[in-house]
Amino acid sequence: MTEQALYSVEVDKLTRKFGNFTAVDAISFKVNKGEIFGFLGANGAGKTTAIRMLCGLLSPTSGQARVAGFDVYTEYEAIKQNIGYMSQRFSLYEDLTVRENIQFYGGVYGLSREAIKNKTEELLDFLKLHEQADKLTVSLPLGWKQRLALSTALLHNPDIIFLDEPTSGVDPVSRKNFWLLIYSLAASGKTIFVTTHFMDEAEYCNRVSIMREGRIVELDDPVQLKQRYHADTMQQVFMSAVKEKDV
Amino acid sequence: MVKKSMKQPTIEIKHLVKTYGMVTAVRDVSFTVGEGEIFGLIGPDGAGKTSIIRILVSLLHADSGEALVQGKSVDGAIAYVRAHVGYMPQRFSLYPDLTVEENIDFFGDLFAVPASLQKTRKEKLYDFSKLGPFKKRRAGALSGGMKQKLALSCMLMHEPKVVVLDEPTFGVDPVSREEFWNILKQLSANGTSILVTTAYMDEARLCDRVGLIFEGSLLAVDTPEHLVNTFPTPIYRLSGSAPHVLYEALAQTPLKNRISLFGDGVHILDTQGEGPEALRRQISDIDAPWDALEPIAAGMEDLFLSLMKE
């Protein structure tokens, strides 16, 4: 099923209401395979509600959405098996070692012993965590914990990875290294769906959408957006886009 | 540089040291905050910001060193500090089941603000924070930016002259952050001294002075303008449509320890003072397309990265 899907994420007039309040108001967009898609917006604009629907955690009021080729209304269990999710509030077991955390999550995802063993080595390699592998997680700097959290989200080999403000609070060097990892994941064909409040990170995305009051008000690549707004930075684009549509 | 520098500083941090078991969280940190000044303590999580703040507001004991508020040592004046310092902790600590107004009333009562004053202050805070239209909304149902403005409002009900904010803009979008900083500017203009921590480098320029902190040590303290203007190393920006590809290519060259990835391109430190032509020669045979190599002024993040490496 995933093989046949043209897009990783396909959203058409997706809407979610809470009582009289429309949190997500008929949004439509498509995310290509292997794309880094930045999902931006002000607090309260509806990003979290949208992401929860796309991850199969919340049922839409109306509209359509397919994630990894699966329907959000009926195939939400399949969606969960085909996406990875990591947020700033990642949950690692601090009194387990790095290796043990990976093994634990492998078990949670129902991987076989053999698969866990192989996958652990592969991830330690990819994330350059070998030296830290047998250290207690509690002793790791935040930047390394963040890499580990990402690795646990990759264990079941998902096609799409949702990153919800993954770099908040991390030092600038670790943030840059994290983005280099994101690029190599995208280059290997994974789709990256990321939210962030760091507008310099918006520049790293292939395309970004900007949400305002439940609607998507802009959707394009950063270069085009900066030209359209006569802006030097995505920070300026964001400020104008969100305020312009204020009226 | 410091407003009203003749006066005694409102906050004095002197040689603070704090350890947790084997971990040294704060290493001999000293700085002052003057009256009406906005001082930003800027650094990533785990740098020691929260430990310093918690020592200052009397919630944590230092191993050595001293924190003073309006000339009084915090350790000997806990009641004074709690009555005169407005402290906004990192975690949202309001009552989600109470409305905006009920939360503000609660904190007014808690700080024993006379009922006759509560009403006018509340109106002033609504004005300030633009929360008036939402006063009947439950705090738990507010957006992240509004929650932070409410927490700030609650903390301002007793009109403290010293305000200490621990990462008030964490997880807050750029527009709400701008609004929040505008409120801080107004407070400062009215003479309130503000110590604020943040992990956003771009907020440095909104402070009167900043301290850059990493792994428990203060790396630099100064006005943001002076810090970036005196950055000793020329910086060149190599721009192209895919900065990360440029970065990966440059990482294979002798320039590898002098490059940083930015949204607008790769920043190259000209540590040897070679000039653009020499740099251009060194990048001429990299296997990645680029558009331009041009000198740029250092930003706060360039400075922070370079201090981190030292």
Q: Which of A7, A160, A187 is nearest to A79 (CA)?
A: A160
Residues of chain B found within 8 Å of residue A243, distances taken between Cβ atoms: 175
| The token pair that represents A75 in the structure block | 């195939």
Count of A-B CB contacts under 8 Å? 96
Residues A31-41, mean pLDDT to the nearest whole number: 96
Nearest CB to B46: which of A88, A142, A173?
A142
**pLDDT (tens digit per residue) in B77-94:** 999 999 999 999 987 678
Residues of chain A found within 8 Å of residue B304, distances taken between Cβ atoms: 172
Q: Between chains, do A174 and B44 touch, taking CB under 8 Å as contact?
A: yes
Percent of chain A with pLDDT over 90: 74
Q: Between chains, do A172 and B176 touch, taking CB under 8 Å as contact?
A: no
How many C-beta atoms surround the C-beta of residue B28 within 10 A? 14
Helices (H) and strands (E) in chain A, counts: 9, 10
Give the pLDDT confidence score for residue B278 in this predicted structure.
92
Nearest CB to B175: which of A174, A201, A243?
A243
Give, in order, the Cα–Cα distances in Å from A209 to each of A8, A61, A63, A206.
Answer: 16, 21, 18, 11
Order of strands across the sheet that contains A7-18: A21-32, A7-18, A62-67, A70-71
| Residue A20 near chain B (CB below 8 Å) | no
Q: Between chains, do A239 and B174 touch, taking CB under 8 Å as contact?
A: yes
Residues A109-121, mean pLDDT to the nearest whole number: 93
Task: Name residue A62's beta-bridge partners.
Answer: A15
Q: Between chains, do B172 and A168 touch, taking CB under 8 Å as contact?
A: no
What contacts A177, CB < 8 A, 6 or more positions away? Answer: A143
- Enumerate the domain spans of chain B: 11-229, 235-309
Give the pLDDT confidence score for residue A43 in this predicted structure.
84
Give the pLDDT confidence score for residue B7 in this predicted structure.
75
Residues A111-131, mean pLDDT to the nearest whole number: 91
- For an interface test with B, the pick among A21, A140, A142, A197 (most B C-beta atoms closer than 10 Å) comes out as A197
Is the pLDDT assigned to residue A121 strictly greater than 50?
Answer: yes
Q: What is the pLDDT confidence band of residue A246, given thresholds at 50, 70 and 90? A: very low
CB distance B27 to B52 below 8 Å = no
CATH top-level class of B11-229: alpha beta
Give, in order, the Cα–Cα distances in Å from B32 to each of A70, B29, B133, B189.
Answer: 58, 10, 38, 18
What contacts A220, CB < 8 A, 6 or more positions away? Answer: A207, A208, A228
pTM of the model: 0.87
Give the pLDDT confidence score for residue A244 in this predicted structure.
67
In chain A, positions 191-220, which contact chain B (CB-CB < 8 Å)? 197-204
Q: CA-to-CA distance for B256 and A80, rounded, in angstroms?
A: 40
Q: Between chains, do A42 and B171 touch, taking CB under 8 Å as contact?
A: no
Q: Between chains, do A43 and B146 touch, taking CB under 8 Å as contact?
A: yes
**Chain B positions with Cβ closer than 8 Å to A:** 43-47, 142-146, 167, 170-178, 199-202, 214, 241, 243-244, 247-248, 260-264, 301, 304-305, 308
Top pLDDT among B44 and B69 is at B69
Task: Name residue B54's beta-bridge partners.
Answer: none
What contacts B199, CB < 8 A, 6 or more positions away? Answer: A168, A169, A170, B42, B43, B44, B45, B167, B170
**pLDDT (tens digit per residue) in B272-286:** 899 999 999 999 888
Give the pLDDT confidence score for residue A5 in this predicted structure.
65
Give the pLDDT confidence score for residue B77 in this predicted structure.
93
Give the pLDDT confidence score for residue B57 in this predicted structure.
96
Top pLDDT among A100 and A200 is at A100
Nearest CB to B173: which of A197, A200, A234?
A197
Nearest CB to B201: which of A169, A172, A243?
A172
